[in-house]
Copies of this chain bind each other. A is one copy, B any other.
């Protein structure tokens, strides 16, 4: 199970696109600047997201990328599967044969872990994460203000 910067960058960039859902197209240059992601690297990741039908692109001046569906219909898990290729936690790729041809003692454990993580990632849309991020950040700011007022 490898969740690398590929997956993290891809999700962050997608969240940025979700935030600006009303805008037309957003260029890699803008995204790269706003989210501190190396441009040419993001380029590479966006190939996969486009191939997976998550992003739509447009060339030329004013061109760029946007989500191909509303942000509440795109799940974090879909983004990650599009760019990560080693998310499976089993040693046997699900074949159940990693201990001299048969199931190792931990096979069911890794399978359960896979399901757990997949559920987590597939249960959350871009919209969900954005809303959640705002809520917690607001709470944090309120607490800080209270503390400052009290101190």
Contact = CB atoms under 8 A, between A and B. Distances in A.
A103 interface: yes
Nearest to A103: B137
What is the interface of chain A mostly: helix, strand, loop, or mixed?
helix
A143 to B, nearest CB: 15
Interface residues of A, number: 40
Please give the count of copies of this chain that the complex contains. Answer: 2
A59 interface: no
Nearest to A126: B105
Contacts of A104: 12, 35-36
A110 B100 CA distance: 36
Contacts of A120: 112-113, 116
